[in-house]
Chains A and B, each alone.
Chain A
């Protein structure tokens, strides 16, 4: 069949070239739809359900909201697990679905369940699903600031409240319209509110209650429609407007009567603009600000959406009031552009190098160009395939592409065609006729197509183990494997069709047999060397074996990292303060931190989100600040060669000097992923499940104690759940009874006085602002004054302290649940001992030493699980893959012996990779692992071509020694070519320092090192081995 295809493509050569053009066209079209991002998306299929519950403490939020919502989600199809946190004023449930579940399907299911839940939840609480976005969603962040020296129209300074109003009512609605934007999340500033601050004493005096005020506000703030009347043939609409329009109106609302005199709101208190009780704030460069985060819809093209957002923002700036400016703070485009530049540069340089080498080695520019033409066509086909498979273009997926590797198959074919064509020309002593030429091309192609197809098949096969990785590792590396496999298959198809067609068309002229001087020199040196090796076979093989063993040992001394860190070019640090730190305190500490960070010369902008934004995509307490350190372009650094890790260390040392902050360093996207995936990042996690929080914490502490006592435990930590200072106002029931009061009376008073009560809305055009009744700041923040707050009893009163006890003590700061049960996690890392053994020890110790109460149980988790399952899977898959390769080889040769001989190329190739890593002082990583995988494929391909040829010659002339030597010399050029092409194609990547280099460098290093060793070994050891293996038969 393969022969037929080749025949067809040579005969219908023009058709195939046109097909190639069509493929390019489809590729260009696909490129428009290719999602481009910097890094692969590792978010799992999840839906967040947020319920805002103003005033609810963690306990209440859990009891009233989290629990019923969780219960309602039981039994969802494809549900993997749920987890939840209940905090002050917020319940968040994260529902994680099985991989591959359609997110819209999942959201529909949840929506349905939530609709049935309305009656169960307390009034006014509405669970909402988080935006349809992934960890890559936060693509653009901007801040609003007052212009220098500018004031509001009334001459007062620009306030965060005024900025927030601009954000909420001018900017946000417009940005939300940008295609691909799913949400614009606001943090910082204050929601504008109209506050009625009643004076408790005046209220008593006038006989007005808080309820009276609230009712009066509701009854005096509405428009009524009254239908229409017809008059003289005209239709008149009737309405009665009665809405309050501002502070003056509110002041004059009648709330009661004292004798015959009406009592107005202004008689019992003051009215003014007030600040909401906010849950979050934002800072930029050491100043409080208002910040908008633009979130991208799942699956959109982040570069495009970010760019559109940026241009929209500039456009909006024109319509903003003159006193406000918007400033982009973070723009994903920068990172994506950098990443794409890196990939483009690598691919381009790689391709150029490939062309140069082909020209040098083939000595024929047309042949070189034909081979090089495979690169763009294969690239376009790959892009088409990526779009079809839903793989985004990013550092990982494009990073592993090496077109040198991909054109290997084509190189072999082109080389053989040229060799045969020139031989034929020489043989005939004239230019070939068309028919002869076509026949030669066909034969030449068929001669080598099998080994090269097998080679490509093998390279594809070795990528199989990557597909078995699951979880985060899987998400990270599947796109890479898919892309490489698509590219390889594309190249394979092209070398079957377009390559012979193109050769048939373009190689019409005289083809000089003159091999390039390089090849001639090398051949001159190669032959005696090979003969020498063949003489001292045993020594050579022994040396090779020793080398393999040495490199095997060397591999164990290399460091390792499981997943490479993609450098995003910016730094994110989470500043953690102690539980219970107030928002304003946190802002103050953050401002100083930012001031200090800005003094580092490489830092361009620092901004932070403190606490929880409007849409609780990342619910943080006020004591935590996500800080982003945006770096200047490298060229503006005092020392452009400074490494990122040095800079991070510097930032860390500056930050750690500031008191009261603890830090976790990550990167913006990475931090978002961590927030969303939220898997336990420690080696071992013991989850304690149960009901009573104190009991849970107690058990967790015991678990931690036991874990710490085991050899190798380090940074053992118990999840922080307690320690939120809380002022409890406990009603005294007997005292209440004496005054005829209900508990609810006290609670209503306290919640309105301190928390505030919404009592209607003021409309200003589209904008709407809440009217809130709340005590003045001075009264509500003073605990002593609170004690004497008068509680109305009929026409008299009683101070609060008579009927309630005020108690200040710590309470749970957060309640975490997993799969519908409360849990506290104990995490520990393992150092200096075997992880598996540690876990077994821990389990044993826990079983014997820890007595759990009824209804409490433990579960184990942590990265050790992933490591375990990954290694289990790999121990199964790797042998299968190896068997598969041997199988393919046996199929190719019909000889187990030959298959095994070729197979020896693999360890020999790996040695070079290990050595290269060691020389460059790089750790073993999955990237390097992928390099090894690619390498195995190349090694087999080389060996295959060599052995196939030797065998053919041997069968032709029957003398093994001469066959080996002649075969080896004839195959020298293609072997060198494929090797040089593949390794030089990787050189730009190996030397690269730009964005994404950390992924590509180990891979490229391994391949280059490996190919050098593999080529040497293919050229010398393989012939020796072949001769040795077949000598007996020969003799």
Chain B
């Protein structure tokens, strides 16, 4: 008897586990059935890579039939309503127009048959979620409007400042002789034609003068008065008022820069706008080209040998639609932007074009004037995908 009771206990355990079930409905997510009176319709979305269409089967008293007229008016978030007309093919109604992504909408189905009008509301949501205003404020969610604008791409190039070849001069004595006077010293600035040394020639014993060949600053003085000079350099004169930035242009950037391109030369906080003077191949079989940019240096804020960055406005394109970069998230391998209307957020797959530091062009998927989430868009993604979030140890 006890045995029986214990068995009952065991059986009870098992059966009550079994009976604690919930009802399982066997409905297909993608198929919706509507019925009014003796009219029944089944609508579904036929997804194919070429373009999805809406398919409807209509039944009267359970038998397929083709109604007099059938249409669906479809309202997506942030868009004006679209009307879908249908044509008959293989006994079902197929929408003439393709249904664009995302397949998330509210729709009204209209059917007329034998002068009787029917209508049904159809809601089909995917990638849609509701978040209250209070919460979006707490999360510092910001929205912006999809707009046209420019995309400015900047290219950064690195290079060194050098003295342009014409601005360097080495002053030599023409005839060997003894230096009689030296007019300039290191650091002195000289003008072209200034007499900077007097030398008595060994041959003629005449004193001849040496003039500065260019204006500039004396950067070295290698001889002294009384010294016998033959071929030594007396002075080095450098004109650093203009400098060249030799920027290396590597293959991947080659298309973005050409002679005459505007460029900003930056060194720390100092910046100067200039143009690319030449684009020359590197002299030593290196795989880059050199862009030469002349800059003025009257204040002496740059110095030869400095590493500088050249920022090229490589592209300045007006695009018809652009969104902020922070708006873009990836879901299931697609780029998406989240549209916002009140408390509702809708993920919309987008095709992206070019981008700059702040904005990205949207080629397809959005229309101007739609409101999208521009800051903290990750939150919407997190909310949409949260059901999949799990943690196994």
Give me the interface of A with B, judged by CB distance under 8 Å.
85, 201-202, 204-205, 548, 552, 555-560, 562, 574, 576-579, 581, 585, 588-589, 592, 595, 618, 620-621, 623-624, 657-662, 664, 674-675, 678, 712, 714, 717, 719-720, 725, 738-739, 784, 788, 790, 796-799, 801-802, 816, 825, 831-835, 871, 874-875, 878-879, 882, 903-904, 906-907, 910, 923-924, 929, 932, 936
Contacts of B248 in A (CB 8 A): 796-797
Asked if A624 meets B16 with Cβ closer than 8 Å, knowing A657-B135, A797-B158, the reply is no
Residue contact A802 to B388, C-beta cutoff 8 Å? no
B381 touches which of A576, A578, A738, A903 (Cβ 8 Å):
A578
Residue contact B21 to A576, C-beta cutoff 8 Å? no
Contacts of A574 in B (CB 8 A): 391
Contacts of A878 in B (CB 8 A): 3, 6
Taking the nearest CB of chain A, how far is it from the CB of B100, in angstroms? 26
Asked if A558 meets B18 with Cβ closer than 8 Å, knowing A578-B382, A657-B135, the reply is no
Contacts of B11 in A (CB 8 A): 556
A-B contact pairs, 13 of them (CB 8 A): A205-B307, A555-B8, A574-B391, A578-B381, A581-B382, A660-B382, A660-B386, A662-B386, A678-B393, A738-B287, A834-B18, A835-B17, A874-B10
Contacts of B357 in A (CB 8 A): 784
> What CA separation (Å) do A658 and B251 show in the bound complex?
49
A contacts with B: majority SS: mixed
Contacts of A664 in B (CB 8 A): 391
> What CA separation (Å) do A502 and B306 show in the bound complex?
105
Residue contact A558 to B16, C-beta cutoff 8 Å? yes
Contacts of A579 in B (CB 8 A): 389
> What CA separation (Å) do A513 and B94 show in the bound complex?
100
Residue contact B392 to A719, C-beta cutoff 8 Å? yes
* 3 interchain residue pairs of minimum CB distance: A832-B21, A660-B382, A831-B21
**B131 interface residue, CB < 8 Å from A?**
yes
Asked if A577 meets B382 with Cβ closer than 8 Å, knowing A717-B390, A798-B250, the reply is yes
B9 touches which of A85, A576, A801, A932 (Cβ 8 Å):
A932
> What CA separation (Å) do A624 and B378 show in the bound complex?
16
Residue contact B392 to A623, C-beta cutoff 8 Å? no
> What CA separation (Å) do A915 and B383 show in the bound complex?
47
> What CA separation (Å) do A878 and B286 show in the bound complex?
87
Residue contact B386 to A577, C-beta cutoff 8 Å? yes
Contacts of B158 in A (CB 8 A): 201, 204, 788, 790, 797, 799
Asked if A720 meets B378 with Cβ closer than 8 Å, knowing A201-B307, A560-B16, A929-B9, the reply is no
Contacts of B160 in A (CB 8 A): 205
> What CA separation (Å) do A717 and B357 show in the bound complex?
40
> What CA separation (Å) do A833 and B156 show in the bound complex?
66
Residue contact B392 to A816, C-beta cutoff 8 Å? yes
In B24-81, the 8 Å CB interface with A consists of 24
Taking the nearest CB of chain B, how far is it from the CB of A48, in angstroms? 11
> What CA separation (Å) do A664 and B392 show in the bound complex?
12
In B305-331, the 8 Å CB interface with A consists of 305-307, 309, 330
Taking the nearest CB of chain A, how far is it from the CB of B354, in angstroms? 13
Name the residue of chain B whose CB is nearest to the CB of A559. B16
Residue contact A825 to B389, C-beta cutoff 8 Å? no
Residue contact B5 to A910, C-beta cutoff 8 Å? yes
Residue contact B382 to A906, C-beta cutoff 8 Å? no
Contacts of A924 in B (CB 8 A): 9, 12-13, 16
Contacts of B15 in A (CB 8 A): 556
Contacts of B22 in A (CB 8 A): 714, 831-832
> What CA separation (Å) do A717 and B1 show in the bound complex?
43
Contacts of A556 in B (CB 8 A): 8, 11-12, 15-16
B382 touches which of A595, A659, A784, A875 (Cβ 8 Å):
A659
Contacts of A562 in B (CB 8 A): 13
Contacts of B156 in A (CB 8 A): 788
* B contact residues, range: 35 or more
Residue contact A831 to B2, C-beta cutoff 8 Å? no
> What CA separation (Å) do A618 and B388 show in the bound complex?
21
Residue contact B389 to A576, C-beta cutoff 8 Å? yes
Contacts of A910 in B (CB 8 A): 2, 5
Contacts of A558 in B (CB 8 A): 12, 16
In B183-200, the 8 Å CB interface with A consists of none
Residue contact A581 to B20, C-beta cutoff 8 Å? no
Taking the nearest CB of chain A, how far is it from the CB of B216, in angstroms? 21
> What CA separation (Å) do A208 and B195 show in the bound complex?
43
**Max chain A CB contacts within 10 Å: which of B132, B135, B391?**
B391
Residue contact A832 to B9, C-beta cutoff 8 Å? no
Contacts of A552 in B (CB 8 A): 4-5, 8
In B206-259, the 8 Å CB interface with A consists of 248, 250-252
Name the residue of chain B whose CB is nearest to the CB of A595. B138
> What CA separation (Å) do A559 and B19 show in the bound complex?
9
Residue contact A589 to B379, C-beta cutoff 8 Å? yes
In B258-297, the 8 Å CB interface with A consists of 286-288
Name the residue of chain A whose CB is nearest to the CB of B17. A560
B390 touches which of A662, A725, A788 (Cβ 8 Å):
A662
Residue contact B309 to A201, C-beta cutoff 8 Å? yes
> What CA separation (Å) do A925 and B8 show in the bound complex?
13
**B385 interface residue, CB < 8 Å from A?**
yes
Taking the nearest CB of chain B, how far is it from the CB of A281, in angstroms? 16
Residue contact B386 to A578, C-beta cutoff 8 Å? yes
Taking the nearest CB of chain A, how far is it from the CB of B316, in angstroms? 17
For the complex with contacts A205-B305, A555-B12, A784-B357, 11 further pairs of A-B residues with Cβ separation under 8 Å are A558-B12, A560-B17, A578-B386, A589-B382, A595-B138, A618-B393, A659-B383, A660-B379, A725-B330, A802-B251, A825-B392
Taking the nearest CB of chain B, how far is it from the CB of A461, in angstroms? 12
Taking the nearest CB of chain B, how far is it from the CB of A968, in angstroms? 22
Contacts of A798 in B (CB 8 A): 250, 288
Contacts of B17 in A (CB 8 A): 560, 835
**Max chain B CB contacts within 10 Å: which of A576, A620, A790, A871?**
A576
Residue contact A202 to B307, C-beta cutoff 8 Å? yes
**B139 interface residue, CB < 8 Å from A?**
yes
Asked if A674 meets B393 with Cβ closer than 8 Å, knowing A659-B383, A936-B2, the reply is yes
**B387 interface residue, CB < 8 Å from A?**
yes
Taking the nearest CB of chain B, how far is it from the CB of A563, in angstroms? 12
Contacts of A660 in B (CB 8 A): 379-380, 382-383, 386
Contacts of B132 in A (CB 8 A): 657
**B143 interface residue, CB < 8 Å from A?**
no
Residue contact B16 to A882, C-beta cutoff 8 Å? no
Contacts of B381 in A (CB 8 A): 578
Residue contact B252 to A802, C-beta cutoff 8 Å? yes
Name the residue of chain B whose CB is nearest to the CB of A677. B393
Contact with A along B120-163 (1 / 0, CB 8 A): 00000000010110010011000000000000000010101000
Contacts of B251 in A (CB 8 A): 802
> What CA separation (Å) do A562 and B390 show in the bound complex?
24
Taking the nearest CB of chain A, how far is it from the CB of B296, in angstroms? 21
Residue contact B18 to A832, C-beta cutoff 8 Å? yes
Residue contact B3 to A879, C-beta cutoff 8 Å? yes
Residue contact B9 to A662, C-beta cutoff 8 Å? no
A659 touches which of B2, B14, B379, B390 (Cβ 8 Å):
B379
In B323-343, the 8 Å CB interface with A consists of 330
Contacts of B1 in A (CB 8 A): 548, 903-904, 906-907
Contacts of B305 in A (CB 8 A): 205
Taking the nearest CB of chain A, how far is it from the CB of B243, in angstroms? 15
Name the residue of chain A whose CB is nearest to the CB of B13. A560
> What CA separation (Å) do A548 and B6 show in the bound complex?
13
Taking the nearest CB of chain A, how far is it from the CB of B143, in angstroms? 15
Asked if A903 meets B2 with Cβ closer than 8 Å, knowing A556-B8, A678-B393, A802-B250, the reply is yes
Taking the nearest CB of chain B, how far is it from the CB of A978, in angstroms? 20
Residue contact A833 to B391, C-beta cutoff 8 Å? no
**Max chain B CB contacts within 10 Å: which of A592, A618, A662, A784?**
A662
Residue contact A555 to B9, C-beta cutoff 8 Å? yes
> What CA separation (Å) do A1010 and B382 show in the bound complex?
53
> What CA separation (Å) do A559 and B393 show in the bound complex?
30
Residue contact B13 to A714, C-beta cutoff 8 Å? no
Name the residue of chain B whose CB is nearest to the CB of A886. B2
